[in-house]
Amino acid sequence: MTGTNIHHAATLLKEGKVVAIPTETVYGLAGNALDEDAVLTIFEVKNRPHFDPLIIHVSSLEAICQYVEDIPKTLKVLAEKFMPGPLTLLLPKKDIIPDLVTSGSPMVAVRIPSHPLTKKLLVSLDFPLAAPSANPFGYISPTTAKHVADQLGDHIPYILDGGPCEVGLESTIVGMEDGRVTVYRKGGLEVESIQVWVDHEILVKTHSTSKPDAPGMLSVHYAPKKPLFILENETDWASKTGEKNVCFLRFSTPFEGFDLSKQRILSPQGDYHEAAHHLFAFMRELDVLPFDVIYAERLPEVGLGRAINDRLKRASVF
C-alpha cells in the first residue's frame, strides 16, 4: 500500500516492520536500526548481501551524538553546514548500533534526511532508521513511490509517498582517513561544496572492485537490466544512429538527425541539479521501453556532473 500517513508508517516501524520512506536523495527501505530482526528483514527484502552495511537516518545532530562516540572537528563543521541534506558521515559507532547494521565495522554511516515527511516520521520515533535505497540489490535507486511499488510493492506493508525525490542521487559519503576528509561515494552534495569548508585538499576515492571501502563503490551497482554504454565524442554518437533498437541518454541537447522519441535529455538547460533529478527515472524508463541498448553521454566532470558520471559508469558494461 502507498500513502502519506506518517502515523501508520510509524506504527509499522515500531512493530519491527519495514517501510519505504521518501528522502530528498532517493527512497529508502527503512526499519528500526536497533532491532536486528527488522534489519535482517531489510537485507532479505532487498536481497542484499550482509557485507554491505546500512546508513542510519536520524532527525538531528543531537540524535547523531546518541549513536556515535565522537564527531571529528572537521566533520562537525560539515554536519553543521550540510545537515539535513544529501551528506552521510562515517563515524565511530556506539555499541547500541548492532554490528549487523555496519557489517561488523566500528564505523557507522549516519545522515539526516531533509524530506519533510521523513523528518516528521523520525521525530515521532525513539530509534534511528536503517535505510538502504529501496531497490533490489544492484538495480537503480528509486526516485518515486511508484519505482518502489513496481519492484518491492509485494514485499513491504507500506510505502510513504513523498513525491519525486528532489535531488535524485544518493547522498555523498564522507569520512576521515589519516586525518584527511575523504569522499567514499560521490553523491547529491558536490565535492566542491565540501571542499570550501575544509582547510586541506579532500581525498576523493575512485571505486574499487574487490574490497570496496564503501560497498556503494562496488563496480557493478545502480545498473539497469539493459546494456548501457558511455559515449565520448560526436563520431561515436554518429556511428550509433544507424543501429536498430537503440536509445540515447543525453545531457542537454538531442543528437541531431536521430529520432527524438528515442532520446532523453537530462536537462535542456544544461543544469546539473535538473540532470541529477531526472537521471534514475530516465534510466528506468529506457530500461522498460523496447530498446536493446542505452547509449549515454558523459557529463563535464564538475559539480553533480561527477556523481552522475560515476553512476553512469557503474551502470555501464565497461
Binding site for ligand TXA (CB under 6 A): 23, 25-26, 28, 52-55, 88, 90, 102, 105, 107-109, 111, 131-133, 170-171, 173, 214-216
Q: How far apart are CA 72 and CA 257, in angstroms?
A: 54
Give the max Cα distance, the chain: 60
List binders of Mg ion among 220-259 (CB under 5 A): none
The three-point CA angle 145-146-147 to 5° equals: 90
**Single-letter residue type at 315:** A
Closest distance to ligand TXA from the beta carbon of 165 (Å): 9
Closest distance to Mg ion from the beta carbon of 224 (Å): 14
Q: How far apart are CA 83 and CA 86, in angstroms?
A: 8
Q: In terms of CB distance, is 23 or 41 closer to ligand TXA?
A: 23
Q: How far apart are CA 130 and CA 53, in angstroms?
A: 10
Beta partners for residue 139, in sequence order:
223
Q: How far apart are CA 188 and CA 307, in angstroms?
A: 7
Closest distance to ligand TXA from the beta carbon of 302 (Å): 21
Closest distance to Mg ion from the beta carbon of 216 (Å): 6
Among Mg ion, ligand TXA, none, what binds residue 41 when CB lies within 5 to 8 Å by partner kind? Answer: none
Among ligand TXA, Mg ion, none, what binds residue 118 when CB lies within 5 to 8 Å by partner kind? Answer: none
Q: Are the beta carbons of 206 and 254 closer than 8 angstroms?
A: no
Q: In terms of CB distance, is 74 or 133 closer to Mg ion?
A: 133
| Count of beta carbons in the 10 Å neighbourhood of residue 74 | 18
Among Mg ion, ligand TXA, none, what binds residue 172 when CB lies within 5 to 8 Å by partner kind? Answer: none
Residue span 45-74 as binding mask against Mg ion, x where in contact by CB under 5 A, dash where not: ------------------------------
Q: How many helices (H) and strands (E) are present in the chain, helices listed first?
A: 11, 15
Among ligand TXA, Mg ion, none, what binds residue 308 when CB lies within 5 to 8 Å by partner kind? Answer: none
Closest distance to ligand TXA from the beta carbon of 225 (Å): 18
- The reply on whether position 171 binds Mg ion by CB under 5 A is no
Residue for grid cell 548501457: 228
Closest distance to ligand TXA from the beta carbon of 234 (Å): 34
| Count of beta carbons in the 10 Å neighbourhood of residue 151 | 17
All three cell numbers of 41, joined, read 528483514
Among Mg ion, ligand TXA, none, what binds residue 215 when CB lies within 5 to 8 Å by partner kind? Answer: ligand TXA
For 103, the enclosing helix (H) or strand (E) is none
Among Mg ion, ligand TXA, none, what binds residue 26 when CB lies within 5 to 8 Å by partner kind? Answer: ligand TXA
For 38, the enclosing helix (H) or strand (E) is helix 36-46
The rounded radius of gyration (Å) of the Cα atoms in the chain is 19
Residue span 114-133 as binding mask against Mg ion, x where in contact by CB under 5 A, dash where not: -------------------x
Among ligand TXA, Mg ion, none, what binds residue 109 when CB lies within 5 to 8 Å by partner kind? Answer: ligand TXA
Interface contacts to Mg ion, rule CB under 5 A: 133
